Amino acid sequence: AQSVTQLDSHVSVSEGTPVLLRCNYSSSYSPSLFWYVQHPNKGLQLLLKYTSAATLVKGINGFEAEFKKSETSFHLTKPSAHMSDAAEYFCVVSDKTVMKTSYDKVIFGPGTSLSVIP
């Protein structure tokens, strides 16, 4: 069965320092993996997506994530945090094989709240 673990419910960094948000997943086959960001009172926005091409995925706003199959991880990083990065971040797994009806079943992690200190 699919599952997603986000190891930190809250991360706090100083502006200009690196960001690391951790995600581990469990999936039977080869999943697609996503990171979404949710700002207060805003909709979920796709940051980046992994679909078995390059293991290092670059997203918007300077974020990137590395898929490590041996560690079943998909951690999100950014070299330098900006105040506008403060938000809730969700790691998502989509397993194409769970398809009795040919849709992509997605499972969201519980989220990591990122705070950026001036």
Partner 1 sequence: DTGVSQNPRHKITKRGQNVTFRCDPISEHNRLYWYRQTLGQGPEFLTYFQNEAQLEKSRLLSDRFSAERPKGSFSTLEIQRTEQGDSAMYLCASSPLLRDTQYFGPGTRLTVL
Of residues 7, 8, 22, 49, which one binds partner 1 by CB under 8 A? Answer: 49
DSSP state of 112: E
Query: Tokens 């951690």 identify what position?
Result: 75
Residues 6+ apart with CB under 8 A from 49: 32, 33, 34, 57, 59
Q: Looking at beta carbons only, is 30 or 118 nearer to partner 1?
A: 30
In this chain, which of 34, 35, 50, 74 binds partner 1, going by CB under 8 A?
Answer: 34
- Cα 7–Cα 8–Cα 14 angle in degrees, nearest 5: 140
Phi and psi, residue 60, nearest 5°: -80, 160
User: At 62, which amino acid appears?
Assistant: G
Q: Is residue 101 involved in binding partner 1 (CB under 8 A)?
A: yes
> Cβ 97 to partner 1, closest distance in Å?
12
- Residue 86 makes contact with partner 1 by CB under 8 A: no
Residues of this chain that bind partner 1 (CB under 8 A): 4, 32, 34, 36, 41-46, 49, 51, 90, 92, 94, 96, 100-111
